[in-house]
Each structure stands twice: as structure tokens, then as C-alpha cells.
Structure 1
Amino acid sequence: MATTLLTELVPLLKRPVSDEDRLRARLHTLDWLGCAVLGATTETGSRLVALQKSLSSSGHISLTGGGKADLQTALLYNGALGNILEMDDVHRTSILHPGPVVIPAAIAVAQHIGATQESLLNAVIVGYEAMIRIGRSFGPAHYQFWHNTSTAGAFGAAAAACELLKLNDSQWISALANAGTRTGGLWQMRHESTQSKQLHNGWAALTGVQAAMAAQAGIEGPASLLEGKQGLLAATAEGGIPEAVLSEADAPWLLWHCSFKPWPACRHTHPAIDAALRVDIPAAEIESVTLETYDDALRFCDNPNPQTELQAKFSLQHAIAVTLLRGEPALEDFNADSRNHPQLVEWRDRISVRSSRVRQLAYPNAYGATLTLSLTNGQRKVIEVDDVLGDPGNPMSTGQIIAKASSLFKAAGVSLNHQQDLMSVLTEQDDALWIDALADALPSLAATQEAVQ
């Protein structure tokens, strides 16, 4: 077989994993589960439940929030839940969210084959690595139209499944190649009130695992899928960075480069939120606010008049107004009551946003913002943010990550006792039955939610 990016990538995905790496993977699994459990209780979650029930009435794979289904349906359903709240983890330079795709794919396959804890966590780490390495090769052109998480997510899900299924190198290459022949979704869904983004992720998890199982069955794929003349980069990523797939081969696993999201809004709003949190002047003394940031933040989140909860989570103006008036933004700060609150409506009109050449040059290596306050006394105050909370340069502590998950479980109606059981499984338990304990926790969540309602 000729040497290609995929043939060179597979050995990088098979390097040793340490106990410390697996501890980090546990935290990402906990973070995903918190997001998915609360996501399942939303209106979008209810629609996904209806879809799941129409596709499967029985099976052996656990569903987040209750019940079981066949493997294919569980992959689609669990894969669609993790990004509903916009609190999923993120990798900056590839501009994608690995957890919502890789983790449910790994859990489903692990439960399907009866894998051990170590095997599952290794698969999560390897899936993140494949997804990020390939995703960072796309460059800015792909992200203009394509949903990076979905495109690269299929590779991540395939890699996680390959690791669990113990495929050989040739099978790995075919699995990754065939996962990538079905490119991720289009950003047009951002311009309307839809649930397409959730389907993008669910389909990525499903496609990746199917590609791995197809490879196990002997179905081959094109090894030059990434860099070929009619391959993924040529078709969808003009000016892509193919060398990024293999660069920094000796670096730590890229799971360590991922950020956790503390605030329930699009990551592009977080620099503005962090800047607003540093304001030590009463809102009554602020006349107007100017935000300067990078272009993608404006492209996705310049919305002074959000009409839905999702639009509010993608509104720089709303995020800044909420933070200045209320402090750290909470889930309820994006609902209809908050969105339509007269004071917040009035404040959004005081906030202007514009592109910053300095911030654009630093992006996507840094998600930064400059907030300029024009005060009622005629003075100005400037606040700069270079590393937002949750990024590797300004990380959330283990305690903060656990507290975030606990708050999401609580908001979903999960009892305190069951929260403690989940925390024990995800942060302490260490035995070969760990995957069974985790899988059992998913359907039992429904009972605890009903008990406290």
C-alpha cells in the first residue's frame, strides 16, 4: 500500500496511553454525560426521543435518560444529545467539539462488545486524537460552510470503534477512509431555527462506527481519501493544511489540548463573557460597550435581537448584557423570560461589535476579545482577554469540572444520591465492570428524574 496521510496516521493512534491520560478521559466523559442528560430533557431532546422510538423499540444499548435500543439507533440518539446545551468541550485550532461524537460512539461500542474500562477510555483518547488531527487540517475554508465537528467527528468515532474492535492497520485505514467519504453538515442550519446540528453529530457517530464495522467485515476504503485529487481536502478545504494531520507526532495526546466550557453559550461568546466578568464598574455607570474580536465570533454570534433560546446562546450582545447585569451566565439566562426582559433588550442595543485585526491574527490559536466601556462620566475602560476560562492556558480545575456536571445533573432532576453514584463511577471506580456500571447509569437516570418531579 502506498504511503498516505491515513497510513501514516494510524501508527500515531496506536501509541501508549498512560493512567493520567485515562483520568483526563474520565473527566471528558463526565462532562459529556452532564450535557447529554440535561439535553435529553429539553424540547429538542423530546423530539430526538420520538425519533428514537420510531426507529427502534428494543435493543441492548443504553440510551441517555432511559431505555435501550439497537446499536445503530443508540449511536444516532446518544450522539445527538451532547451539544444541545452548547456546553460541550472544544478544541480551539480545529474548531470542533470532540466529546459529543466520540464519547457516545465509544460507550455504545464498548457496551456492544463488553469492553473493559481501560479499553473504553483508550478508545475515547484515540477518537479525540483522530478527530482533532484530521479536523485541524481543514483550515479556515472548510469552516466557512461545513460543520467541522460533524466532518471530523466521523473519523473520531471510527477511530474509537477501531480501537475497541482491535482492528489491524489495513482495517483502520479503510475505516477512517470510508468514514470520511460522507462529509459533515452545512452551516446553513445556523440561519434558521432547526435541530440539524444535533443530527450532524448523531450521524457522525453512526457513520464512524458503521465504517469501522464495515472494515472489520472486509469492506475497503481509499487510503488517499484526505489528500487525493478528488479527496476530502481538495473538495471541501481549499488552502487546507494536510501536514497538520501528522505534525507534532511526539506531543501529548491532543485530549489535553481541549477546553471545557463553563458557560451555556457558543464558545465564540466566551471571550466576551470573560471580559464582562472582569468589569468592576456598576452597570448604571456604563453608557455603552464596544466589543472587538475575531471574525468567526461575529459571523456566528453577531445577533442583537435573538428570537429563540438557541439564538440567544449565539448572541454576543445578549451574552455581554447578561453578564454585566447578572454576573456569571446560567442556563436560565437564555430562556424566553430573560431574552425578552426589558432591561436586557435595552442593554443589547447599547453594545456594538466589530472585527479586530489583532484578535483575528491570533485566532484560532487564541479566542480573544477586547471590551471597551464608555462610562457616564466621559471616561473609558478597556478590558483584554487572551485565554478564556476552560482553555489550556486558563484551565478549569477538576473540582470546577465536577461541579459543572453536578449542576447539569441537578437541573435535569437527577437525585443527589444518583448524582453521587455517577460521580463515583466516573471519577473513582476502577474495575473491569466499569462499563456495565456506566451503561446501567444511563437508563436509570429516567427513574431518578421522575422521582423528584
Structure 2
Amino acid sequence: MKRASILERLAQLLSRPPGPEERARAAWHLADWLACAAAGRAEPVGSVLAMRPRSGASDDAFYWGGLGNVLEMDDVDKRALLHPGPVICAAALSMGKHKLIGQAELLDAIVRGYDATIRLGRAVGPQHYRFFHNTGTCGPIGAAVAGSAILGHKPERTAHAMALAMSQASGLWQTRHEPRSMGKQLHTSHAARAGIDSALLAEDGFKGPVTILEGEQGFFAATCGSADPNAVLDDNPRWRIHDVSFKPWPACRHAHAAIDAALAIREGVDPSTVESVVVETYRDALVFCDRPEPKTVIEAKFSLQHAVAVALLNGEPTLDDFSDKAVQDETLARLREKILVRQDEELTATYPNRFGARVMVDDREVFIADALGDPENPIQRDQLHAKIRMLLETRGTKSEALKQQCSRLLRNSEPVDPEKLAVAFEEALR
């Protein structure tokens, strides 16, 4: 008897029902994404995406999928090195908007979609991440799962939806080397739409190559020299959404532990008299964020030097701390010049299970093993609520209805209707 493919077995794994704890967690991630996306709409990339005509779930997924990552405040699974929210939540809500479903169906779809994307992201290995943007390459599989869940697909049809989605997987890191590039947002837009298109095609009987992951000319062979295919089918019954981190600060996640350390050390420190600052962290944090002289907003968000200078000088970072004005601020520039970043071998060895950093300011030192928002250092509901309010109140969005919907999701006190939620979201995007 022919052995079932990885995708066929994964579809069976994902068919089990999530429980109340998973739905409550999904509600938090949905609220977090809604706020990130609504605030991201005010940025130039949001204006460009808003110009495209839309006529259905696929178009909605593409538009919404590009918004959640704009401000670099979207959730992240540190072991998979990807951001599930911008892709999975966009895909699930876009399909939910066009189908008569309840809150439970929407949240279950998000839980399953997160699981598929994170499983694949943890399987691809470090050689893949060197060149490929995991959110773009692994996002389509989760978007397809979320869409299939809302359509009520059986595992066989879900497997074909995943196969079709993975046939379209893409996203290269070269985009981060060009500050003007909006390619990172295109990756999340495409991933969300590819998943929805694939689920809709599978609904009509369109078949995909179900051995697309492990096949001799498949995804692992082509893009993942150090892949661990078994990670996709890890039999740990815990839903992976519980492992996903929230991002409290508007910067690359690789800078967050250093920000936390700087915040912890700043009390009693006069930045004007500081002689030296040293940041020690893991290798990838330097690969992505060793940028002593950022010139643009996106470069500032990917600068350990700027992020630590902001935290030492201003306290908890806000969106304004990564604006063009902040990048050009002379006081911040002088402090950035004093900051040396270097690799720590022990922190590199524990990464990506731990995103740690050590900050030394003259004779004072603080070590942070896990950034705020990680499962080991969890964000509290009030903290997440404050982040959401900040995003919706500081970006000029028409957000009162969306704020109310997000509050209901966080409290988990009364059901949220997906169609009404989509309407409130759309109002905030205008």
C-alpha cells in the first residue's frame, strides 16, 4: 500500500478540533493583527495596496495580507522564524467575510492555519532562512489550511489545497537590502492570496501535487538543504499557536531582547554622560540588525544601535521613535555612535529557542534571556490591550468600532460576528 504523503498526513493531524484555550489564544492574535494592519494602512505601502480593485475573498486576502507586517509589530514564532499573523489572520477573515460562519469557526481556522505554517517553518532549517523569507515561503500552507477549514474541507481536499499553495511558495531576503523595497509586504500579500486561491480551487476539485514537500523536485529538495521533514509531522499534540510571541515594540524581533535589557538598565542612567554601550547577542540579530547609521524608517527598525539608543534615551519605544524625524535626531545619532554590537557564542548556540541579549552601559549590565512577549516571558492582556489602543489611536484610523471588536476578542466575553468584524476593519482602513 502506498505511503501517504506528508501533506496527507498533516491534513489528518490538523482535522482534530481546537479547544477553548486555543480559541481564546487565536482571538488575541486576531486582535493583535487587526490593530497592526489598521495602523499599517497609513503607511505608503498601505496606500498602494488600497488602490487595487477588489471583488472577493482572494482580493481581500491580498490587500489585508500586506498590511499586518508594515510596522514590524506583528506576531512571530521564534523557532520557525516567521510571522503567522499577517498571512493566516488575513486569509481566515477574508474567507470568513464571504461565508456565513461564527466566531468559533473563524478562530478554529486560525488555530489550524498557524499550526501548519509553524510546523513547516520549523522544518525548513537555517539554510533556507539564509535566503528565503520564511513568512512568504511557509505562509501559503497555513492560509490554505485556514481557507479549507472555513470551507469545511475533508482532509483529502485540504491536502490538495496545501499542495497547490506550496506550488506558489516564494519570498527572497534580498528585499531587506533595499530600503525602498516593499517586497516584504508583497510576500505576505501573496502568501495569503495563494492560500485562499488554493482552497477555493480545491473546493472545485482542482488537484495539487501532494508530494510537493518531500518529492525529488519538491520544496525541501529545492530550497531547504538542512530541512527536517519530520518536524512537519511532530506528534506533540500541543497546538503551536501557544508558542507564538507578541511584539510590544515597533522594531525587528531580533532587536527586542536588547530593547528590554536597555529599558531595564536605563533607570539611573544619564544618556548624555554615557561613555560606552555594548550589546551582545546571537548571530542572526547582527546579520539582520547591525546597522549603526540607519537612514530610513525601515533601516531604523532593523538597527540594534537605534533601538537601544531609543530605549536608553526615551524609554519604551513608540512608532514615533522609528520615524524619519527620529532617524535624523542628533541626540539619538550621538548615542548610536557609542553603541558597539557583537556576537555572543552562547546566545548563538541557544538561538532560535531563546532570543537573548546582554546590554552593558559603562559599568552596569543587564541580561535578558527571553524577549517580552515570548512564551517564557509572556505579555499580559492589559499590555496587549495597551498596544492595540496605541496602534489604533496614534495612526489616525477611524477605529472606534474596531477598538470595541478588539476589546471583545481580548476579553473573550461575548462572541464576535466575523462579518461585522470585517466591516469594522474595513471602516478603519478607509
Same fold (TM over 0.5): yes
Is residue 228 of structure 1 aligned with residue 229 of structure 2? no
Counterpart contact for 1:79–1:202, Cα < 8 Å: yes
CA shift, 1:419, in A, is 5.2
Give the counterpart of 2:156 among 161, 165, 170. Answer: 170
Which moves more between the two structures, 213-222 or 328-337?
A: 213-222
CA distance in 2, matches of 1:436, 1:71: 12
Q: 1:11 to 1:273 in 2, by over 3 A?
A: same
Equivalent in the alignment of 2:57: 71
What SS is found at the alignment partner of 1:161?
helix
Q: What letter matches 2:140 in structure 1? A: A
Equivalent in the alignment of 2:303: 315
Equivalent in the alignment of 2:383: 400
Equivalent in the alignment of 1:28: 29
Counterpart contact for 2:281–2:342, Cα < 8 Å: yes
CA distance in 2, matches of 1:328, 1:21: 30
What SS is found at the alignment partner of 1:287?
coil
CA distance in 1, matches of 2:398, 2:58: 30
Q: What letter matches 2:217 in structure 1? A: Q
Equivalent in the alignment of 2:168: 182
CA shift, 1:224, in A, is 1.7
CA distance in 2, matches of 1:416, 1:4: 45
Is residue 443 of structure 1 aligned with residue 421 of structure 2? no
Counterpart contact for 1:12–1:249, Cα < 8 Å: no
Aligned-residue Cα RMSD (Å) equals 1.6
CA shift, 1:72, in A, is 2.2
CA distance in 2, matches of 1:421, 1:446: 15
Equivalent in the alignment of 2:225: 238
Is residue 418 of structure 1 aligned with residue 418 of structure 2? no
Counterpart contact for 2:61–2:193, Cα < 8 Å: yes
CA distance in 1, matches of 2:157, 2:104: 22
Which moves more between the two structures, 415-424 or 147-156?
A: 415-424
What SS is found at the alignment partner of 1:245?
helix
Equivalent in the alignment of 1:160: 146
Q: Map Cα deviations across residues 355-385 of structure 1 (whole Å, 9 max, x no partner).
A: 1111110000000112222x3xxxx332211
Q: Map Cα deviations across residues 339-365 of structure 1 (whole Å, 9 max, x no partner).
A: 111111111111111111111100000
What SS is found at the alignment partner of 2:353?
coil
Is residue 324 of structure 1 aligned with residue 307 of structure 2? no
Equivalent in the alignment of 2:187: 200
Equivalent in the alignment of 2:76: 90
What SS is found at the alignment partner of 1:305?
coil
CA distance in 1, matches of 2:407, 2:277: 45
Q: 1:230 to 1:415 in 2, by over 3 A?
A: closer
CA distance in 2, matches of 1:416, 1:83: 19
Q: What letter matches 2:61 in structure 1? A: L
Q: What letter matches 2:227 in structure 1? A: G
CA distance in 2, matches of 1:140, 1:278: 31
Which moves more between the two structures, 261-270 or 211-220?
A: 211-220
- Normalised by the length of structure 1, the TM-score is 0.90
CA distance in 1, matches of 2:326, 2:407: 35
Which moves more between the two structures, 420-429 or 433-442?
A: 420-429
CA shift, 1:443, in A, is 2.5
Equivalent in the alignment of 1:391: 374
Which moves more between the two structures, 124-133 or 294-303?
A: 294-303
Counterpart contact for 1:262–1:390, Cα < 8 Å: yes
Q: What letter matches 2:99 in structure 1? A: I
Q: 1:113 to 1:223 in 2, by over 3 A?
A: same
CA distance in 1, matches of 2:290, 2:235: 35
Mark the runs of 5 or more structure 2 residues left unpaired by the alignment: none
CA shift, 1:424, in A, is 4.6
CA distance in 2, matches of 1:126, 1:417: 30
Equivalent in the alignment of 1:369: 357
* Segments ≥4 residues shifted beyond 6 Å: none
CA distance in 2, matches of 1:170, 1:18: 23
Give the counterpart of 1:151 among 103, 125, 137. Answer: 137
Q: What letter matches 1:275 in structure 2? A: A
Equivalent in the alignment of 1:108: 94
CA shift, 1:246, in A, is 1.4
Q: What letter matches 1:89 in structure 2? A: D
CA distance in 2, matches of 1:212, 1:350: 52
Q: What letter matches 1:435 in structure 2? A: P
CA shift, 1:413, in A, is 2.5
CA shift, 1:446, in A, is 5.1
CA distance in 1, matches of 2:400, 2:169: 42
Equivalent in the alignment of 1:355: 343
Q: Map Cα deviations across residues 263-283 of structure 1 (whole Å, 9 max, x no partner).
A: 000001101101111113322
Tell me the number of residue pairs that the alignment of Structure 1 and Structure 2 aligns.
425
Equivalent in the alignment of 2:257: 271
What SS is found at the alignment partner of 1:81?
coil
Q: Map Cα deviations across residues 72-93 of structure 1 (whole Å, 9 max, x no partner).
A: 2211101100000000000010
Q: What letter matches 1:368 in structure 2? A: G
Which moves more between the two structures, 189-198 or 4-13?
A: 4-13
Q: 1:357 to 1:109 in 2, by over 3 A?
A: same
Counterpart contact for 1:426–1:438, Cα < 8 Å: no
CA shift, 1:416, in A, is 7.5
What SS is found at the alignment partner of 2:59?
helix
- Normalised by the length of structure 2, the TM-score is 0.95
Equivalent in the alignment of 1:80: 66
Identical aligned residues as a percent: 42
CA shift, 1:248, in A, is 3.9
CA distance in 2, matches of 1:5, 1:419: 39
Equivalent in the alignment of 1:286: 274
What SS is found at the alignment partner of 2:123?
coil
Q: Map Cα deviations across residues 45-81 of structure 1 (whole Å, 9 max, x no partner).
A: 112112x24xx4xx4xxxxxxxxxx322211101100
CA distance in 2, matches of 1:232, 1:31: 31
Counterpart contact for 1:149–1:184, Cα < 8 Å: no
